[in-house]
Amino acid sequence: MKSSRLERTLKDPILFAAVTSILSVLYNWPQRWLISGAPLLQILILAGEAREYRVLPSIHLWPLFTTLHLIYAICSTSWLLYYVFAAICYPACFLVSLFQFEIVGDFARKSLRRLLKQLHFIDDKIAFFDIPALEIDTEVDGLMVLRGITFSLSSLSFVVHGVEVGIKLSDDMELAIQSEAVKVKLFRGIEIGDCFANLKGGQYEMTFGSLEGKSKDADGDAVFVESTPLLKAASREADTRSLDSVEVDTVKMVDKMTDGSAPEDTTAKEGLKGMKKLSPDNEEANGRYQKTVKFIEETNCVFEARQYVQGIAKETPTEERSFDPEDENAVRAAICSQLHSKPSVPHPPQRSIKVTTLQNLSPPYIRRFLHRLPMLLRLLLNPLSYFHPVKISSITATASGRWIDSMLVEKVFLGYADQDQEIANLKKRISSWLSDANFAVGLSGITGMASVPFVHTYDIRCQLAFDDVMSYRALPAQLDLKQVIRLGGADATFIVPSFLLPHHEHLLPPVQSKDDKNDLEKQVDEADGKPKKIQAKQELKQARKDETNVNLSVHARLPACFNQELLDFVAALVKATKVVEMEKDRDREKEESEADEETNGIVKFGKKVKGGLKDGVKRKVVDSIVNDRWIAKMVGKITRKLETARGEAGYSGDLPVPLEVYRNEGWESREGDKLLP
């Protein structure tokens, strides 16, 4: 009993403050200690202990104070360390007060709200809205929009509300990506919800299809840019609803405090003891925050498509449904199919900031310094990649059958459908299965990990694992959905050379000289066996093009299930390619025959007869051997065995990367040596 009373007395902040004040008046030595801020920090921690709410509750008070004053004793021996200690101690006092005392937190939030009108301070959270879009103006054109960001100080994490990305890959191809929420837990991981991607082709599908050239600043000085070509293109198809024009129910503070649970009866004493004073500013700010977040969620295209799909599925009789509304994979495929006709960036802001502008924000001397210390970049990326594994709930990607059909007409049929009735019939069958449909690939349970080595002799490794892989054929007009492929899972590994990192051009392999290329040519001629010869030819080809490789390895886990309609489509496509190939050979032989001026008439007649017989034989061979229905039947037998098979089927290959871009990077410090390579 006496020991507990003594401990409570020693923990009394008022007593400690009084003793410190008396000692400072009577003696000179405590004054320097008092100015350092250490006694003030101890008083604040004792005050938090008295209120049973202090920082670092897992550490006992006496070891904490002993460590604090031991550090002070060491720092007091040097005037420089003393001022460093004081410079750290006073901000620590403010942070301790901010955490332990509600009045300090309310004052800080109220002051910051007045100072920064665009920010929302709620409890321990800081919210950002009306964020300028990030305009991509490097190798490709694009626009990335983050509709809101909430940063939580207590959990050291932030949530991005509403992610919209539109990238123009080429003049006839565009990628649109949308996700409702992304949560980043600092040094713990990155969690992404359902992600929907749409690959759009042709001017009739693309949001940025009419853009010409790059939209770069002439001087690169302006940070925020309004009415750029990308913003104009996105704004033409944008959702024009605003927070003021949409009715959103006000979120009451009591609902948030109770979390939907009714309060329990209690005594007056316990009620007064547990009563919490709430600032009107906090309640108003929290209401505005909840209203804004709810508006972002309810106006999100993914949310609207999900509501539409689930509503139609519930209204449709069970026997007429093409998919189960409880099947999340099928619902996501239907949602992605509905999103395909939406603009790539549905909610563009009024302003944007360019990537090139951000790159030029740092002074030239800073960039030169960082350029000479590439090891610092690896030192930064190594822990960031290790502590931030990426987990994605699902990725659903969709492409329209209409665009796929147009690509087949351009690349496969090549106008032969107008000359041959059989090719026209095959084209009609293929187009009927493609033109009105969207095709979605769904990947769920995705885990991504990357490792950036500190030592540059090792390569960068990126690994992806997929728990489930499936593909659907969807008719968005009728909301008809059919699964065509289902796999047991998949994984992919990318191995990237370290010298492809920024500021690592000193590690690039040297450009092959003429003698080196001659040596490679000799290796081709002297290669032992066909495999070695092919490898030597590939090395020679890449040496001439100045290329390196990113190694790709993809494995699909069995069993695998395939829909018979897909097999019929593949068989028809195979037959079409063979027939078109036969027609191309016939045209080539015809051109060669007409170009032969030395052949007499009898020989010409013989060649025509022989050519006619050859064409007839070829057509019989194609009809008998390359019969699409026979192919589909045989493939069906094989795929039925795959439905019960176990194991993996995969592919490993190289993705060529030109090195000219990395060699030609212009840096003022090019002539300087690397300090830490």
Calpha distance 547→387 (Å, rounded): 32
Confidence of residue 161 (pLDDT cuts 50, 70, 90): very high
Torsion of CA 182, 183, 189, 190, to 10 degrees: 0
Asked whether the CA dihedral 654, 659, 665, 671 is positive or negative, the reply is positive
For the segment 51-70, the average pLDDT, to the nearest whole number, is 82
Q: Which of 88-92, 109-113, 302-306, 384-388 has the lowest mean pLDDT?
A: 109-113
More confident residue, 212 or 28: 28
Instruction: Give residue for tokens 């004054």.
Output: 31
| pLDDT score at 269 | 39
Of 53-62, 247-256, 649-658, the range with the highest mean pLDDT is 649-658
Confidence of residue 172 (pLDDT cuts 50, 70, 90): confident
pLDDT(35) > 60: yes
| pLDDT score at 288 | 80
Whether residue 99 contacts residue 154, with contact meaning beta carbons closer than 8 Å, is answered with no
Calpha distance 46→536 (Å, rounded): 75
| C-alpha pair distances (Å), 632 with each of 307, 479, 623 | 38, 27, 14
Domain extent listing, the chain: 2-100, 131-238+347-361, 253-261+278-339
pLDDT(588) > 60: yes
Annotate 572-605 with b (16+ C-beta within 10 A) or e (fewer). Answer: bbebbebbbebbeeeeeeeeeeeeeeeeeeeeee
Q: Which among 397, 552, 554, 555 has a CA at the least distance from the CA of 470?
A: 397
Calpha distance 394→534 (Å, rounded): 40
Strands (E), 202-244: 224-226
| 250: phi then psi, degrees, rounded to nearest 5 | -70, 135
pLDDT(184) > 80: yes
The DSSP element (H or E) to which 331 belongs, if any, is helix 328-339
Confidence of residue 245 (pLDDT cuts 50, 70, 90): low
Whether residue 137 contacts residue 356, with contact meaning beta carbons closer than 8 Å, is answered with yes
| pLDDT score at 116 | 55
pTM: 0.74
For the segment 614-631, the average pLDDT, to the nearest whole number, is 54
| pLDDT score at 122 | 63
Q: Which residues does 30 contact at the CB level (< 8 Å), separation at least 6?
A: 20, 23, 24
Whether residue 330 contacts residue 474, with contact meaning beta carbons closer than 8 Å, is answered with no
Q: What is the mean pLDDT of the chain?
A: 79
Which own/partner pairs from 64-71 qualify as long-range (CB within 8 Å, at least 24 positions apart)?
68/38, 68/41, 68/42, 69/38
Kindly give the residue spans of alpha helices, DSSP state H, lying in 372-513. 374-387, 401-408, 421-434
Q: Which among 522, 571, 400, 395 has a CA at the least distance from the CA of 470?
A: 395
Percent of the chain at pLDDT above 70? 79
Annotate 618-650 with b (16+ C-beta within 10 A) or e (fewer). Answer: beeebeeebebeebbeebeeebeeeeeeeeeee
Of 8-12, 108-112, 652-656, the range with the highest mean pLDDT is 652-656
Calpha distance 234→620 (Å, rounded): 54
pLDDT(600) > 80: no
Kindly give the residue spans of alpha helices, DSSP state H, lying in 596-674. 601-625, 628-642, 660-663
Whether residue 298 contacts residue 248, with contact meaning beta carbons closer than 8 Å, is answered with yes
Burial tier of 289 (Cβ tally within 10 Å: 0-12, 13-18, 19+): buried
| pLDDT score at 215 | 43
For the segment 482-489, the average pLDDT, to the nearest whole number, is 92
Strands (E), 406-529: 438-451, 460-475, 480-496
More confident residue, 164 or 618: 164
Whether residue 632 contacts residue 571, with contact meaning beta carbons closer than 8 Å, is answered with yes
Q: Which of 233-247, 492-506, 641-655 has the lowest mean pLDDT?
A: 233-247
* Alpha carbons within 13 A on the beta-carbon side of 114: 6
| C-alpha pair distances (Å), 111 with each of 281, 290, 608 | 11, 21, 93
pLDDT(148) > 80: yes
Whether residue 352 contacts residue 225, with contact meaning beta carbons closer than 8 Å, is answered with yes
| pLDDT score at 221 | 41
| pLDDT score at 565 | 86
More confident residue, 141 or 612: 141
Q: What is the pLDDT of residues 332-371, one digit of tens each?
A: 999 999 998 888 889 888 888 888 887 777 778 777 877 7
Whether residue 45 contacts residue 35, with contact meaning beta carbons closer than 8 Å, is answered with no
| C-alpha pair distances (Å), 373 with each of 376, 408, 506, 674 | 6, 50, 12, 6
More confident residue, 256 or 414: 414
At CA 132, angle to CA 348 and CA 389, rounded to 5?
95
Q: Is 4 helix (H, G, I), strand (E, B) or coil?
A: helix
pLDDT(305) > 90: yes
Q: Which residues does 218 contact at the CB level (< 8 Å), separation at least 6?
A: none
| pLDDT score at 212 | 52
Tell me the sheet residues that pair with 146.
163
Tell me the sheet residues that pair with 157.
152, 185
| pLDDT score at 19 | 84
Confidence of residue 646 (pLDDT cuts 50, 70, 90): confident
